[in-house]
Amino acid sequence: MMVGALLCLAGAIYGLLGTLHALYTFLDMRNPRRIVPDDPAVIAAMQASKIRLTRGESTVWQGWVGFNLSHSLGALMFAAACFIVAACLRRFAFSPWVLLALACVSAVYLLLAAQYWFRIPILGTAIATACLGAAWLLYLL
């Protein structure tokens, strides 16, 4: 029971972070003011600059939007994985490695957050990682 609750809490955190990230990205497509550079000249340069790899088909701004949306999708898919494992705990005998894998992925998110993101995602991923680590340890008992 406690393992499932911890998995659900971690899933809820990643679901909230992923949803907010996607929402802010969609809102920034029309009125850039959230997950964007604070210098309007940089935004304009991103919108005007082409990505060499795409041979002029995509701008840096389009790449930025796509990155942010795919990043949101990753967080939402990870949240779904946490919820699915929690929902199936009583029906299936999961290997402890499944819960360890979830905790390790969350720890990687935490390392990324600590290095590149800001306070709210750091705090959220830290709590979620602690929940997933605790769920794994409790599942071993």
pLDDT of the chain, 141 residues: tens digit per residue: 899 999 999 999 999 999 999 999 999 999 999 999 999 999 999 999 999 998 889 999 999 999 999 999 999 999 999 999 999 988 888 889 999 999 999 999 999 999 999 999 999 999 999 999 999 999 998
- Of 82, 83, 64, 73, nearest to 23 by C-alpha is 73
For the stretch 17-27, pLDDT in tens is 999 999 999 99
pTM assigned to the model: 0.92
CA distance 9 to 121: 15
For the stretch 77-102, pLDDT in tens is 999 999 999 999 888 888 899 999 99
